[in-house]
Amino acid sequence: MEPEDAAKKPPINSGPSSAPFELPTTHKVCPDCARLVEAPGITDPRDPLRPVEEFFEIKAKRYTDEKRYSAYCKPHQRKRNNDYRKQARRDNPPDEEARAPRPGAGRVRRAHRVRAAA
């Protein structure tokens, strides 16, 4: 069921890059920007290809310079993190006892400030 031309073409090799060096990363695509997801700080539709300065830098030993960039731009990453925390609070509400203050919790202890009478 393949066209006759497909048999005549050589296979495509996706081997290592033939470039003698790697170019520095300057831009990255944010998937939420591409889908036009709203987030605080974003007022209009924007190009999903963003400068890497708009992504969080994360330590990662296996990457060049031991750093990588977050998958989403800063506004969308913050929105996702906040939504995750809100959902976790809804799924696991804290106990009433855990929120109640301990007896004597407001009392300030200053034992380290007690001076010896001279």
Tell me the domain boundaries of the chain: 25-89
pLDDT of residue 78: 93
CB 32 within 8 A of CB 72: yes
Q: What is the pTM of this model?
A: 0.58
What was the pLDDT predicted at 59? 92
One-letter amino acid identity for 90? R
Per-residue pLDDT of the chain (118 residues; tens, 9 = 90+): 556 655 677 766 666 666 666 777 888 998 988 888 888 888 777 888 888 898 999 998 888 788 889 999 999 999 999 999 999 988 887 776 666 666 666 666 665 555 555 5
Q: What token pair was written down for 56?
A: 């969080």
Contacts of 108 (CB under 8 A, 6+ apart): none
3-state DSSP percent of the chain in helix, strand and coil, to 5 = 35, 15, 50
